[in-house]
């Protein structure tokens, strides 16, 4: 008995241990064995706890299995697991309401999945309507865009284009409400079939726009694109002469032209170009009537016949009207204004009478001037005013020259417009042919310069933006074919930049004048103006000018440069002498050099003469101070300058006074006066001072 | 100021019509008497009128007609017959190259 009791105790102890350790499954087994023997209430309670805990563990395990099955897409198995788990975990304290929802969701998914499978089967057997219906139901059940799109694709295949397009459109609007990034479930098939449905609904451009997103180089697809493009073009042709939304039709024509170019569809490109131009004109006319000028320039720019007088006139008057409100339009106005006014075709409409025509041209120029001056001062107004002044002169000159010497040419225009329309070379050729009729080489080169590749640099130079001019000149490739006009502008820009460098006291200013000798050679009038400016200059830059002129003279020994250099050398020498930085001897050398450079320099000659007089006078004065009266007399008598003799006698007179006031003995005074008299006699016996000394001596002799 | 707009006349108006339009404008009082007088003056002087016509009149009728004829001519060619065959899009057949199971 004792042994039996001991076995029950051992089992109970083990059961308690397992229970306390949370191993309810084993604890339950042990408690069950003991309970059969003991049938105690406390064991019944513990058994109840063990059973509840075991159910929970099994339930949780089933949940895990259910999730695993979901991940493996084994929906029936997952549903079974969750259902079993739901049964085990149905205690109020264990309630897991989500399991019920999960079972519902999975059951729904399974239904959809089954429907999707059936739909696929129907699709595979080409029963597209049934497939579309099943996809639609599947999509409706699970709210999936993917199934809806599959349904729409099946509808396209079943030729139900309206229905298909409606589904596609709804999905498209939902998917791309915020951005236009193609993303799932929208994929290539969906885009293609949506486009196809649109094409079938005669919305050809919309279809083509969708298909542009498809990166596919299949020949059949390319051919279909061309077919739809043809359909779109045919539809567009049918709008001709009908009342249409002009903006919409114009945009469509523009889009189709772009696409035709991309597809290289040579059959449609020329036709679409005409069609686009036609609708552009209607649009321009509409915008003009509504005074919506701002939208017109872009349309004009797109016109292929840009160089047409009609387009030129439209550009001119559009920018004129725009510039009344905003000064930024003044510059573009200038590009077209004078070209339009001087256009043969446009000006012919002003009047049949040439005089009246000219009056109209002048009045229109005045209107542009008024327009410019009405604006507040700004860089735009300054530039426009400068451009008008430059171009007015250019066009007046060219008009006069070409009228006489190239009457066949009928498109005189501004350099900017010539550049835009590719007329620059023609105009340059005509300018070259008319060279003899320009007033001088500078006039000829400057006119050609504006129409040359360096034209913009010349404009910048004339509007006092030398640095911009230099940048523009530097941007012209040196390797490109050179011509006299570009060389002229390049030389002129560097020359002007050099003068700015001198004004700014830059040390390396000479580098800018490397091309100046060539510039002077091609346009002597510039050299003359520069030389005159140098001659008139009296400022502190004299030494810099002298250095520059020496450099230029070394490269080009022309009359004006020699004159200017000789003058500046003289002026510079005087300045240095006056500041005590040069002696008479040094000055003499400088002046002699100046006279060698320009023998006709009277200024230098006169200054040299004065310098020589000063030099001789200094020596005579020195000799007289040292009582070398005979030497002084010899030098005075030998001098070629009467002024030296005059100075000699002036010194002599001072010495007479000094003798008289010296307080010396009369005998000594007499000796000194006699020496002075002898030297005076050597120079000029008839000089009044000779008589003065003789009278003094006679007076002294009496005493 | 656009004198044609102020006087509400077209570019072909003769002097008599300009004067009548000015009188009408004075009665209507849409523009001030000064503006109407100025507009009338602008259009009665031949030089000034030519300037105003250049500034404000845009007549693209001829250009449009020319292009219209060109468009018409370009769409009459024999090659367009083949376009007519598919002009309603009925010849279009969907391609299967984009179908997901196309390669299989």
Res A505 pLDDT > 50: yes
Does the residue A555 lie in any domain? yes
* Among chain B residues, CA nearest to A351: B50
Domain identity same for A619 and A648: yes
Domain identity same for A625 and A689: yes
What would the two tokens of residue A29 be? 């087994």
Residue that the structure tokens 């706890």 belong to: A49
Cis status, amide bond into A337, omega within 30 of 0: no
Q: Is B89 on the interface with A (CB under 8 A)?
A: yes
Res A87 pLDDT > 90: no
pLDDT score, position B77? 46
Answer yes or no: do A274 and B54 touch at CB < 8 A. no
Res A531 pLDDT > 60: yes
Answer yes or no: do A220 and B97 touch at CB < 8 A. yes
Domain identity same for A628 and A585: no
Does the residue A655 lie in any domain? yes
Q: Is A227 on the interface with B (CB under 8 A)?
A: yes
Give the helix/strand (H/E) hosting A248.
helix A246-263
Residue window 131-160, chain A: list those with CB within 8 Å of chain B: 156-157
Does the residue A147 lie in any domain? no
Answer yes or no: do A321 and B55 touch at CB < 8 A. yes
Cis status, amide bond into A185, omega within 30 of 0: yes
> What does DSSP assign to residue A504?
T
Check: pTM over 0.90? Answer yes or no: no
* Among chain A residues, CA nearest to B53: A350
Q: How many domains does chain A contain in total?
A: 3
Mean local confidence (pLDDT), A520-531:
91
Domain identity same for A573 and A626: no
pLDDT score, position A93? 56
How far off is chain B from A289, nearest CA to CA, in Å? 9
pLDDT score, position A196? 94
Does the residue A481 lie in any domain? no
How far off is chain A from B20, nearest CA to CA, in Å? 23
Does the residue A235 lie in any domain? no
Question: A189: which chain B residues are within 8 Å (Cβ-Cβ)?
Answer: 98-100
d(CA A352, CA A20): 122
d(CA A455, CA A443): 14
Least confident span in A58-62, A172-176, A314-318, A676-680 = A172-176
Res A185 pLDDT > 90: no
Mean local confidence (pLDDT), A651-675:
84
Share of chain A above pLDDT 90, in %: 27
How far off is chain B from A406, nearest CA to CA, in Å? 27
* Among candidates B48, B67, B100 on the partner chain, residue whose Cβ is nearest the Cβ of A281: B67
Does the residue A258 lie in any domain? no
* Among candidates A202, A224, A230 on the partner chain, residue whose Cβ is nearest the Cβ of B95: A224
3-state secondary structure of B79: coil
pLDDT score, position B51? 95
Mean pLDDT (chain A, rounded): 86
pLDDT score, position B87? 63
Least confident span in A290-294, A300-304, A348-352, A463-467 = A300-304
Domain identity same for A10 and A59: yes
d(CA A38, CA A534): 136
How far off is chain A from B54, nearest CA to CA, in Å? 7
Domain identity same for A619 and A697: yes
Res A142 pLDDT > 70: no
Of A95, A112, A137, which closes a domain?
A95
Confidence band for B22, pLDDT divided at 50, 70 and 90: very high
Go through A642-662 and write b for each residue having 16 or more CB atoms within 10 A of its CB, e for each that does not: eebbebbbebbeebbeebeee
pLDDT score, position A126? 86
Answer yes or no: do A310 and B60 touch at CB < 8 A. yes
Go through A447-469 and write b for each residue having 16 or more CB atoms within 10 A of its CB, e for each that does not: bbbbbbbbbbbbbbbbbebbebb
Q: Is A231 on the interface with B (CB under 8 A)?
A: yes
Domain identity same for A570 and A619: no
Interface test with chain B among A158, A192, A354, by most B beta carbons within 10 Å: A192
Confidence band for A140, pLDDT divided at 50, 70 and 90: low
Answer yes or no: do A231 and B94 touch at CB < 8 A. no
d(CA A399, CA A407): 9
When mean pLDDT is compared over A37-51, A177-191, A646-660, B46-60, the highest value belongs to B46-60
Of A95, A125, A144, which closes a domain?
A95
Interface test with chain A among B5, B10, B46, B47, by most A beta carbons within 10 Å: B47
Does the residue A532 lie in any domain? yes
pLDDT score, position B85? 46
How far off is chain B from A563, nearest CA to CA, in Å? 53
Question: Which of A602, A572, A601 lies closest to A586 in space, CA to CA?
Answer: A572
Least confident span in A304-318, A399-413, A509-523 = A399-413
- pLDDT tens by residue, A363-381: 999 999 998 888 777 778 8
Residue window 19-78, chain A: list those with CB within 8 Å of chain B: none
Mean local confidence (pLDDT), A616-631:
86
In sequence order, which ranges of A434-509 are alpha helices (DSSP H)? 441-451, 455-462, 466-475, 484-503
Domain identity same for A539 and A569: yes
Q: Is B87 on the interface with A (CB under 8 A)?
A: yes
* Among chain A residues, CA nearest to B52: A364
Confidence band for A178, pLDDT divided at 50, 70 and 90: low
* Among chain A residues, CA nearest to B80: A234
Q: Is A202 on the interface with B (CB under 8 A)?
A: yes
Confidence band for A442, pLDDT divided at 50, 70 and 90: very high
Res A136 pLDDT > 50: yes
Question: B72: which chain A residues are within 8 Å (Cβ-Cβ)?
Answer: 240
Res A306 pLDDT > 60: yes
Provide CB contacts within 8 A for A416, sequence distance 6+.
Answer: A334, A335, A455
Res B40 pLDDT > 90: yes
Answer yes or no: do A320 and B55 touch at CB < 8 A. yes
Answer yes or no: do B95 and A189 touch at CB < 8 A. no
Go through A216-245 and write b for each residue having 16 or more CB atoms within 10 A of its CB, e for each that does not: eeeeebeebbbbbbbbbbbbbbebeeeeee
- CB count, 10 Å around CB of A555? 16
Domain identity same for A561 and A618: no
What interface predicted TM-score (ipTM) does this complex get?
A: 0.85
Question: A349: which chain B residues are within 8 Å (Cβ-Cβ)?
Answer: 50, 53-54
Q: Between A183 and A520, where is the model more confident?
A: A520
Q: Is A350 on the interface with B (CB under 8 A)?
A: yes
Q: Note the residue count of chain A.
A: 703
How far off is chain B from A305, nearest CA to CA, in Å? 11
Answer yes or no: do A278 and B71 touch at CB < 8 A. yes
Answer yes or no: do A313 and B54 touch at CB < 8 A. yes
Mean pLDDT (chain B, rounded): 82
Mean local confidence (pLDDT), A22-39:
85
Least confident span in A314-323, A460-469, B36-45, B87-96 = B87-96
Confidence band for A302, pLDDT divided at 50, 70 and 90: confident
Residue window 105-134, chain A: list those with CB within 8 Å of chain B: none
Find how far residue A415's CA is from the centre of its chain: 20
pLDDT score, position A180? 57
Q: Between A410 and A389, where is the model more confident?
A: A389
Mean local confidence (pLDDT), A79-88:
82
- pLDDT tens by residue, A327-369: 889 988 998 999 999 998 899 999 999 899 999 999 999 999 9
* Among chain B residues, CA nearest to A269: B74
Does the residue A369 lie in any domain? no
Res A198 pLDDT > 80: yes
Which residue range forms the structural domain that includes residue A690? 608-702
Res A107 pLDDT > 60: yes
d(CA A369, CA A639): 69
Answer yes or no: do B54 and A346 touch at CB < 8 A. yes
Of A556, A590, A624, which closes a domain?
A590
Answer yes or no: do B87 and A231 touch at CB < 8 A. yes
* Among chain A residues, CA nearest to B102: A189
pLDDT score, position B103? 40
Domain identity same for A631 and A672: yes
Share of chain A above pLDDT 70, in %: 94
Q: Between A409 and A578, where is the model more confident?
A: A578
Answer yes or no: do B68 and A241 touch at CB < 8 A. yes
Res A672 pLDDT > 90: no
Res A668 pLDDT > 80: yes
Go through A373-384 and write b for each residue having 16 or more CB atoms within 10 A of its CB, e for each that does not: eebeeeebbebb
């Amino acid at each position: 008995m004792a042994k039996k009791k001991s076995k029950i105790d051992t089992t109970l102890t083990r059961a308690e241990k397992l229970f306390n350790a949370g191993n309810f499954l084993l604890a339950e087994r042990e408690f069950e064995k003991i309970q059969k023997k003991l049938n105690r209430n406390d064991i019944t309670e513990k058994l109840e706890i063990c059973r509840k805990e075991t159910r929970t563990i099994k339930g949780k395990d089933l949940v895990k299995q259910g999730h695993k099955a979901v991940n493996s897409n084994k929906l029936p198995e997952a549903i079974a697991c969750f259902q079993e788990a739901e049964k085990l975990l149905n205690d109020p304290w264990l309630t897991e309401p989500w399991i019920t929802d999960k079972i519902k969701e999975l059951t729904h998914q399974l239904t959809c999945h089954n429907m999707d499978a059936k739909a696929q089967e129907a699709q595979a057997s080409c029963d597209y309507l049934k497939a579309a219906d099943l996809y639609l139901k599947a999509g409706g059940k699970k709210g999936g865009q993917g199934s809806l799109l599959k349904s729409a694709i099946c509808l396209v295949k079943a030729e139900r284009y309206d229905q298909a397009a409606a589904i596609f459109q709804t999905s498209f609007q939902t998917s791309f409400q915020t951005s236009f990034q193609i993303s799932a479930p929208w994929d290539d098939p969906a885009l293609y079939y949506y486009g196809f449905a649109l094409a079938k609904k005669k919305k050809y451009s919309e279809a083509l726009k969708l298909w542009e997103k498809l990166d596919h180089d299949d020949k059949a697809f390319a051919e279909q694109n061309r077919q739809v493009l043809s359909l779109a073009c045919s539809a567009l042709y049918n709008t001709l002469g009908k009342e249409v939304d002009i903006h919409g039709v114009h945009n469509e024509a523009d889009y189709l032209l772009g696409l035709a170019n991309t597809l290289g569809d040579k059959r449609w490109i020329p036709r679409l170009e005409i069609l686009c131009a036609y609708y552009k004109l209607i649009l321009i006319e509409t915008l003009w009537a509504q005074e919506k000028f701002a939208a017109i320039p872009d349309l004009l720019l797109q016109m292929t016949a840009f160089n047409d007088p009609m387009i030129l006139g439209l550009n001119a008057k559009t920018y004129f009207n725009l510039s009344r409100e905003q000064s930024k339009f003044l510059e573009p106005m200038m590009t077209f204004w004078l070209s339009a006014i001087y256009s043969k075709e446009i000006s012919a409409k002003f009047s049949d009478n040439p005089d009246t025509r000219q009056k109209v041209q002048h009045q229109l120029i005045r209107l542009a001037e008024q327009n410019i001056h009405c604006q507040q001062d700004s860089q735009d107004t300054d530039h426009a005013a400068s451009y008008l002044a430059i171009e007015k002169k250019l066009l007046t000159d060219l008009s006069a020259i070409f009228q006489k010497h190239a009457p066949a040419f009928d498109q005189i225009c501004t350099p900017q417009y010539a550049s835009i329309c590719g007329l620059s070379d023609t105009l340059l050729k005509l300018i070259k042919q008319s060279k003899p009729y320009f007033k001088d080489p500078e006039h000829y080169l400057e006119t050609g310069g504006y129409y040359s590749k360096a034209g913009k640099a010349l404009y910048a130079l004339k509007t006092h933006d030398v640095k911009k001019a230099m940048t523009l000149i530097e941007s012209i490739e040196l390797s490109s074919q050179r011509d006299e006009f570009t060389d002229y502008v390049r030389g002129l820009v560097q020359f002007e930049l050099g003068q700015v460098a001198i004004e700014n006291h830059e040390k390396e200013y000479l580098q800018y004048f490397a091309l100046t000798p060539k510039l002077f050679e091609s346009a002597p009038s510039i050299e003359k103006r520069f030389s005159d400016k140098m001659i008139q200059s009296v400022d502190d830059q004299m030494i810099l000018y002298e250095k520059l002129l020496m450099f230029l003279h070394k490269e080009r020994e022309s009359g004006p440069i020699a004159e200017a250099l000789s003058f500046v050398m003289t002026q510079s020498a005087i300045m240095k002498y006056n500041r005590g930085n040069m002696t008479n001897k040094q000055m003499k050398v400088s002046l002699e050099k100046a006279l060698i450079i320009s023998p006709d320099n009277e200024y230098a000659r006169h200054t040299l003469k004065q310098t020589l007089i000063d030099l001789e006078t200094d020596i005579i004065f020195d000799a007289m101070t040292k009582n070398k009266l005979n030497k002084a007399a010899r030098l005075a008598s030998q001098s070629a300058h009467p002024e030296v003799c005059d100075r000699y006698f002036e010194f002599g007179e001072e010495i007479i006074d000094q003798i008289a006031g010296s307080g010396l003995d009369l005998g000594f005074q007499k000796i000194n006066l006699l020496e002075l008299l002898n030297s005076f006699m050597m120079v000029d016996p008839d000089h009044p001072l000779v008589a003065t000394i003789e009278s003094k001596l006679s007076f002294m002799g009496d005493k | 100021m656009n004198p044609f707009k102020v006087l509400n006349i077209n570019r072909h108006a003769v002097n008599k019509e300009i004067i009548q339009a000015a009188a009408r404008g004075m009665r209507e009082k849409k523009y001030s008497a000064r503006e109407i007088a100025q507009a009338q003056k602008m259009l009665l002087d031949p030089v000034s009128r030519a300037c105003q016509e250049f500034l404000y009149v845009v007549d693209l009728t001829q250009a449009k007609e020319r292009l219209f004829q060109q468009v018409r001519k370009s769409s009459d060619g024999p090659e367009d017959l083949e376009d007519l065959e598919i002009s309603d899009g009925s010849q279009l057949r969907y391609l299967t190259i984009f179908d997901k199971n196309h390669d299989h």
